[in-house]
Structure 1
């Protein structure tokens, strides 16, 4: 395992509608029991869930509310649309607790900013803002261990039995996000451009990348990549690589294997710091829906002696109920 130094603990903001820190006397609600909202705010979408008295009663989805990916105005609008779908008109005041997990929550200021965007939609609620890796671990039913997100971006976070926390990655696409959907797609574009520079004709992977992006020649990818197309757009293009790898394309398989190696490194970094090898709970679009990546991750982790590996089969937002239960 590597000797990566410990990272700062990821912040949790617990505050009532007046911004006062403190635990809830109860999570509020109506005659049917406490009303709790969970939010999983990813790079491409926001997934909300509503529990009343511990029973899941509704889910809703909207665009991303992560201000690293969208403007504050877009985040505000997406949250408003989600809450309008998630809550009945009179339910907003009944919500006692919101548990929101989001990428990009790296400081207390980040968490407070997101709390401010959420608060107008649930005026009586306490709001807990956590890094989205905490939702992953909670959705796996674990209080200690290591959570990994491999989706639009990538990050690992863990907590040991003694409460010590560590994190590796999650620095954003300009600094890292190795093994993420964005990274996989970017590697395919880089490969296509390199092959073109060498005078090679597009092969099946290059052709798939061109088709997905609606361009007819490899050099057009340069302008497109530096245009307004964001990392969410490019992350969606990663499917070309996974499809090609499944069909036996060697370079595509090599990209997937490098992604698995990078994600394994994140796990080992965290395990070195917190002193526990698992369980490892993996979520995010790639980790949950790409069997080839899953198999390669299992093999690489097993080679390092890590065998307690769980790939989520339910959405990470379901971890909000687990966290809410621990809070109450």
Structure 2
């Protein structure tokens, strides 16, 4: 870069996006790279990876860097990564959980919960004193409702309950999942899920959502369960003291599935009197906004 610039980073579990922008926010360049072993790295390893990504583009240091980091699920973890990145780069740095990028990407009146629904799901918010709060994000085995793997897991669970009650379920979702798994019976689907890496069977999620649109009872019930559980995550944030006047949702699943978004919006309004805005863009835009604020403050 031959001019002053800032960097916004969306460091997700699958890929990392770096957006280089002017201090006024105009995009100069976008770079994407696989996240690699991001989730397994400590703060020092993550900082080294981010610093290497910056150096690969330019040797001129930025004015400020803002990072939305997957896996930073406490203020302490975000602080440790901020210190590590600052030590590696020598510039002003701010680090938040990547779900907080949604609020930054959609400026508006009043504090917002950020709700990411993609391969996994998590809800975040803040108390009036600025303390961060997190709900969900527990992974494919125990949590992440409404997400890709959460929806597939729930749909298959419902099929197993139907099988226990009445034998092979007469649900149009079953033959679609059999085709994905290469099996001949529901137990083959379950065996495949236990054998395959979770991200592989999470890739069956579009089939489940399409089946819900086509009338599959199990798929529709799984979608409804996921949406209602996502509302509960936001409700739990509020119960722990989060100041909320709106919800900003994002992530590949929520942004691409109107049926899920409608159910979620209805639940948030009915149970919590909160409006939902679904952000279809890239969360890295929120990181750029945070970097602009940091550069202006410095």
Does TM, normalized by the shorter one, top 0.5?
yes
Match for 2:31 among 60, 75, 90? 60
Q: Normalising by the residue count of structure 2, what TM-score does the alignment of the two structures yield?
A: 0.82
Match for 2:174 among 206, 229, 250? 206
Aligned positions, number: 289
Tell me how far 1:256 sits from its aligned partner. 0.5
Q: Residue 62 of structure 1 contacts residue 79 of structure 1 at CA under 8 Å; is this kept in 2?
A: no
Match for 2:7 among 7, 29, 37? 37
Tell me how far 1:289 sits from its aligned partner. 1.2
CA distance in 2, matches of 1:213, 1:313: 31
Gaps of 5+ in 2: none
CA distance in 2, matches of 1:304, 1:102: 30
Residue pairs, 1:114-125, within 5 angstroms: 123-125=89-91
CA gap of 1:140–1:234, structure 2 versus 1, over 3 A, is farther
- For residue 167 of structure 1, give the secondary structure of its aligned residue in structure 2: strand
Is 2:240 aligned against 1:270? no
Q: Normalising by the residue count of structure 1, what TM-score does the alignment of the two structures yield?
A: 0.75
Q: Residue 139 of structure 1 contacts residue 319 of structure 1 at CA under 8 Å; is this kept in 2?
A: yes
Residue pairs, 1:1-328, within 5 angstroms: 32-33=3-4, 35-53=5-23, 54-65=25-36, 67-68=38-39, 83=53, 88=57, 91-107=58-74, 110-111=77-78, 123-142=89-108, 144-195=111-162, 199-200=167-168, 203-230=171-198, 232-274=199-241, 276-328=243-295
Q: Residue 158 of structure 2 contacts residue 222 of structure 2 at CA under 8 Å; is this kept in 1?
A: no
CA distance in 2, matches of 1:94, 1:164: 30
Q: Residue 37 of structure 1 contacts residue 95 of structure 1 at CA under 8 Å; is this kept in 2?
A: yes
Q: Residue 42 of structure 1 contacts residue 102 of structure 1 at CA under 8 Å; is this kept in 2?
A: yes
Aligned to 1:20: none
Tell me how far 1:176 sits from its aligned partner. 1.9
- For residue 60 of structure 2, give the secondary structure of its aligned residue in structure 1: helix
- CA RMSD in angstroms comes to 3.3
Q: Residue 164 of structure 1 contacts residue 274 of structure 1 at CA under 8 Å; is this kept in 2?
A: no
> What is the CA deviation profile of residues 195-228 of structure 1, one whole-angstrom value per residue up to 9, with x for unaligned ones?
5565416742112222234445433333322235
CA distance in 2, matches of 1:137, 1:156: 12
Tell me how far 1:42 sits from its aligned partner. 2.4
CA gap of 1:65–1:272, structure 2 versus 1, over 3 A, is farther
Tell me how far 1:161 sits from its aligned partner. 4.5
CA distance in 1, matches of 2:187, 2:78: 41
Gaps of 5+ in 1: 1-29
CA gap of 1:101–1:268, structure 2 versus 1, over 3 A, is same
CA distance in 1, matches of 2:221, 2:190: 23
